Structure 1
Amino acid sequence: MTPAARAAAAIEVLDRWLAGMPAEQALTNWARSSRFAGSGDRHAVRDLVFQAIRCRRSHAAFGGAETGRGLILGGQRDRGEDPAAIFTGEGHAPAPLTDAERDSGHAPSGAEALDCPEWLWPRLQTSLGADAAPVMAAQRQRADVHLRVNSLRATPTEALAALAAENIICAPHPLADTALSVIEGGRRVAQSRAYLEGLVELQDAASQAVVAALPLRPGMRVLDYCAGGGGKALAMAARTGGPVAAHDADPRRMRDLPARAGRAGAAITLLSPDHVANSGPWDLVLTDVPCSGSGSWRRAPEGKWLLTAERLTELARLQDGILDRASALLGPGGVLAYATCSLLSCENGDRIAAFLARHPGWTVKAQRQFTPLDGGDGFFVAVLTREISD
């Protein structure tokens, strides 16, 4: 496919997304109806689509319309490219620009230029202060690929060498001793020997830093209360060298975890919702709670446009309930860890303050907010302990 044909395909996919179809479904439907498209074409169309979603407001402003055509046109203008090279009408290219389209569009400003929902911008400014604008600017770009070196299988030096042997070039990432940043060959990782043999896992560097902040030690009884796909459970098992229990309110999210644990050589025990309430006492419980996902909008940009103020209020209630239930599972001197992939204080520090108000005797031992300016996704982590009564 020519660049122009790829742009036309992206316009088609984006129109379906704007009509309400999830982007992944729209891309899958397009690929199934376009058997002529090779893997390179599919990757290129995917990149165009997700960059347009990340930059929905600014590209619509530059392009003069919030349509698939307007977003692709706006993206070209944003990058300083000549639309006439793509909008030719030749072959499978998009139709030539109309006079109205040539005269349309404006340079975005404020929250529009940062591709931030207008209602959310004041909350981000309150949460991030002077970092709000640069953080949201960073969210307009595709995220880097990060790997976690699995210490149960390899050292960082061994993992780097194994990856380099397959032309996947990486470098250590400063956020965690286990973190690698992929410089070349990111799309080959999942088929590499280093990945298939469990030397490395795909995991954001800030997510790894959250686990690194936990006071884990061998022999601890550890529960990942909101395990999801299990990335942090695997990272904790690698640190402790022992078993880690994983639970999720929707066990289907953990369906791939046994296979991942087998590949990693990690001991993971799955707990159903029916069994977790009577499973304690635990030495450490990690609650990586459901949240807005605002720290990972580079990777999942659709969430930025689906989030509402009502959903944030609902999430706060859910987060409070999880903290209350998880804290009851800990034994004397146990550690409660709270994590989100959010940039918003209403999901982070505010939830910890509310928990402390409801539960006297708990103390915050460590707390940190990571943002994309640190080189990873936006994550928050707080580590709490309870005073032991005489």
Structure 2
Amino acid sequence: MTPGARLQAAAEVLDRIAAGTPAEQALLGWSRGARYAGSKDRAAVRDHVFDVLRRWRSTAAQGGGESGRARLIGLLRQQQVAPDSLFTGDGHAPAALTAEEQAGGRLPEGAEARDLPDWIDALLTDSLGEEAAAAAEALRERAPVFLRVNGLRGDLAAAQDALAGEGIETRTHPLASGALEVTEGARRIAQSQAFAEGLVELQDVASQAVVEALPLAPGLRVLDYCAGGGGKALAMAARTGGEVAAHDADPRRMSDLPARAKRAGARIQAVATPKGVYDLVLCDVPCSGSGAWRRAPEGKWRLTPERLDELTKVQAGILDIAARLVTPGGLLAYATCSMLAVENAAQIEAFLARHPGWTLERQRQFLPGDGGDGFFSAQLRRPA
């Protein structure tokens, strides 16, 4: 595919997304019907689509319309690429710009320029104050790729050497001791030997830092209550060297966890209904995902005030249930990939008001400026 043909394909995918089709489904539908497209073509179309999704409002403003075509015109203008150079009408490239398109477009303003819905822009400002603008700007860019070095299989130096031998260059990151930021060859990771042998796992550096901050030690009874795919359970098992219990309200989310645990050399016990008590219970609760909108930008535009209200109620309910699973004197850890105070500090304040005697030992809001996703974490101690 030519660069112009890739843009035309991206425009068609964007139109499907605007009509309500989820982004991954729209991309899959296109790729199934485009057998001629190679892996580089599919990657390029995907990059165009996600670059626009991160900048949905500003590209529409600068492109002079809300179609996929207009938004791609806006994206090229933001990238200081002349749309005329690619919108040529040759072959499968998009048709040449009309006089109206040539003259159209304007600079975005306010929340539009920050690529946020107005109500989320206000909420983010209330949550982060002076740091909100930088956080919003970071969400408009692609996220870096991070790996967690699995201490059960090797150390940082061994992982970097193994990855470099397969054309994957990395550097350490100060936010977590076992983190490697991929600087070259990110698309080779899934096929690498280091990944296949469990030496490294894909995990955001802020997510790693959340686990690293937990007071884990051999012999502790540990439960990952909202395990999902199990990334944090695996990280905790690597820290303790022992067994970690993993639970999720939807067990299907953990379907790959046994294979991942075997690859990592980690001991993970999937539990349908946690019983007894644990020294440490981690709740990485369902949330808006606002801290990870660089990776899943569609969430910015799908979230509604009603859905956010539902999520905060779910979060409070999970905390109350998980609190009963913590042994006296034990620790309840709360985490979100959110930057919204209503899901973070406000949840902790409300929990402490509902549970006299519990104490807050530490909490931290990670922002994209720290290097990874926007994560929040808090550690709550149950009275002995």
TM-score band by shorter chain is over 0.9
Residue matched to 2:214? 214
Q: Which amino acid aligns with 2:98?
A: T
Letter in 2 for 1:359: H
Alignment of 1:120 with 2:116, yes or no, is: no
Residues of 1 paired with 2:14 and 2:305: CA distance? 25
Give the counterpart letter for 2:155 in structure 1: T
The one-letter code sitting in structure 2 at the alignment partner of 1:197 is: E
For 2:286, the equivalent position in structure 1 comes to 290
Q: Shift of residue 99 of structure 1? A: 1.4
- What's the TM-score, normalizing by structure 1? 0.98
Is residue 216–residue 236 contact of structure 2 (8 Å, CA) maintained in 1? yes
Kindly indicate whether residue 334 of structure 2 is the aligned counterpart of residue 351 of structure 1.
no
Counterpart in 2 of 1:369?
A: 365
**Unaligned runs of at least 5 residues, structure 2:** none
Where does the alignment leave 5 or more consecutive residues of structure 1 unmatched? Answer: none
Q: One-letter code of the match for 1:330?
A: V
Structure 1 consecutive aligned stretches of length 4 or more whose deviation exceeds 4 Å = none
Per the alignment, residue 200 of structure 1 pairs with 200
How far residue 98 of structure 1 moved from its aligned partner, in angstroms, is 1.2
CA distance in 2, matches of 1:337, 1:256: 24
Matches within 5 A, 1:57-96: 57-96=57-96
Task: Please list the CA deviations of residues 89-148 of structure 1 after superposition, one character each: whole Å capped at 9, or x if unmatched.
Answer: 111010111111112111012111110111111110111111101111011011011000
Q: Aligned partners of 2:341, 2:27: CA distance in 1, in Å?
A: 34
**How many residues align structurally?**
384
Could you tell me which residue of structure 1 aligns to residue 308 of structure 2? Answer: 312
Q: Greater CA deviation, 90-99 or 223-232?
A: 90-99
Larger deviation, residues 249-258 vs 20-29: 20-29
**Helix, strand or coil at the partner of 1:87:** coil
* Structure 2 CA distance for aligned equivalents of residues 82 and 164 of structure 1: 37
Cα offset for 1:25? 1.1
Give the whole-Å Cα distance in 2 for the aligned partners of 1:162 and 1:102: 50
Q: Secondary structure at the match of 2:276?
A: coil
1:154-198 Cα offsets, whole Å, 9 max, x none, are 011111111011110000011100110000000000110100000
Correspondence for 1:270: 270
Residues of 1 paired with 2:188 and 2:8: CA distance?
A: 27
- Cα-to-partner distance string for 1:21-61 (whole Å, 9 max, x where unaligned): 11111111111111111111100000000110110000000
The amino acid of 2:207's aligned partner reads: S
Secondary structure of 2:59 counterpart? helix
Counterpart CA distance in 1 for 2:295 and 2:102 is: 32
Quote the residue 2:321 is aligned against: 325
SS in 2 for 1:346: helix
Residue of structure 1 equivalent to 2:109:
109
Say whether residues 1:302 and 2:298 are aligned partners.
yes
2:327·2:382 contact (CA, 8 Å) conserved in 1? no
Give the TM-score, by structure 2 length.
0.99
